[in-house]
Amino acid sequence: MLDTVIIFVYILLALALILSFVRLAKGPSLPDRVVALELVASIVMGMIAVYTVDTGVDKFIDVAVVMALMAFLAAIGFARYLEKGGERDD
C-alpha cells in the first residue's frame, strides 16, 4: 500500500515542480523568480524525503540538509544582490 502512495506522491511532487517551474520561466520580475527557485528547492527536498522512504537508505537525509542550506544561501545572496543594486535585465 505504501508503494502506491509513494508513486502517487512522486506524481504530485512532479506536478508541483512543473507548476513552480512555469512561474520561474514566466517571471515577470527577478524577485518572483527567486521565490519560485526557493519553492523548487523545497519541493526537491520533499522528493529527497520520499526517495529516502522509498529506498530505505537513510544517507539521503544528508542530501536534504545540504539542499536546505544551499537554498537559504541562494535566497540571501539574491536578495543582497537585488538590494544593493546593480544591473538587472529581468
Partner 1 sequence: MTEFLSTLSGLLVGFLLLLGAGFMVLAAVGILRLPDLPTRMHASTKAGALGASLTMLAVAFHLPEGAVVARALAVIVFILLTAPVAAHVIGRAGYFVGVPLWKGTVKDELKKHYDPESHSLESGFEGRRAESGADQPGR
C-alpha cell at 44: 526537491
26-51 burial, b if ≥16 CB within 10 A, otherwise e? Answer: eeeeeeebbebbbbbbebbbbbbbbe
Interface map 16-55 toward partner 1 (x if CB under 8 A): xxxxx-xx-----xxxx-xxx-xx--xx-xx--xx-xx--
Contact call for residues 44 and 20 (beta carbons, < 8 A): no
Count of positions on this chain that bind partner 1 (CB under 8 A)? 51
**Amino acid letter, 60:** F
CB of 30 to partner 1, least distance (A): 7
Enumerate binding residues for partner 1 (CB under 8 A).
1-2, 5-6, 8-9, 12-13, 15-20, 22-23, 29-32, 34-36, 38-39, 42-43, 45-46, 49-50, 52-53, 56, 58, 61-62, 64-65, 68-69, 71-72, 75-76, 78-80, 82-83, 88
